[in-house]
Amino acid sequence: MVGMTNPSPRPSRLDPEIAARLKRSPDGLLPAIAQQYDTGEVLMLGWMDDEALHRTLTTGRCTYWSRSRREYWVKGDTSGHVQHVRSVALDCDADTVLVKVDQVGAACHTGARTCFDADVLLEDAAGRGAAASDQ
């Protein structure tokens, strides 16, 4: 998919040089990880198409594509829990975007600070491994 144009029917104003680098899912989307810029805390994962990425890069506010509602949403427009963009980076495979933000309020739709603290499947595996080998 390298160098392909946006397969989405949604028009985009994304810089063509950036668009040419992206490796999108078959539905034209990239996962976008939102991370608190100063602490490194991972806040949430959303989806962006080319236009959402363009809006994020040019407005200073995170814009995502809602797969369920099939529309753009700007984080915080409804909740007030705004994400002010500090930096945007493409990963080494050009298939994921990391957006470092200054998060105002909760990032999760449940009202939690992060989407990743309610259901921890494994924590401190290295420490447990050492304890298990001591027994």
Instruction: Say which CATH number the domain at 61 has.
Output: 3.10.20.810
Higher-pLDDT residue of 132 and 109 is 109
- Look at residue 82 and tell me if it is in a domain: yes
What is the distance between the alpha carbons of residues 130 and 74, in angstroms, rounded to a whole number?
A: 45
Specify the pLDDT at position 9: 55
Residue 91 among known ligand-binding residues: yes
Residue 108 among known ligand-binding residues: yes
Residue 93 among known ligand-binding residues: yes
- Look at residue 5 and tell me if it is in a domain: no
**Lowest-pLDDT choice from 29-33, 63-67, 122-126:** 122-126
- Look at residue 114 and tell me if it is in a domain: no
How would residue 124 be classed by pLDDT, with cut points 50, 70 and 90? Answer: confident
pLDDT tens string 1-24: 344 444 455 678 999 999 999 999
Specify the pLDDT at position 128: 61
- Look at residue 120 and tell me if it is in a domain: no
Specify the pLDDT at position 125: 79
What is the distance between the alpha carbons of residues 120 and 5, in angstroms, rounded to a whole number?
A: 38
Residue 119 among known ligand-binding residues: no
Higher-pLDDT residue of 133 and 59 is 59
Asked whether residue 130 carries a pLDDT value surpassing 50, the answer given is: no
- Look at residue 32 and tell me if it is in a domain: yes
Residue 92 among known ligand-binding residues: yes
- Look at residue 127 and tell me if it is in a domain: no
Q: Read off the pTM.
A: 0.83
What is the distance between the alpha carbons of residues 23 and 26, in angstroms, rounded to a whole number?
A: 9
Domain total of the chain: 1
- Look at residue 80 and tell me if it is in a domain: yes
**Lowest-pLDDT choice from 10-14, 48-52, 60-64:** 10-14
Range of the domain at 48: 22-103
- Look at residue 118 and tell me if it is in a domain: no
Answer whether 98's CB lies under 8 Å from 31's CB: no
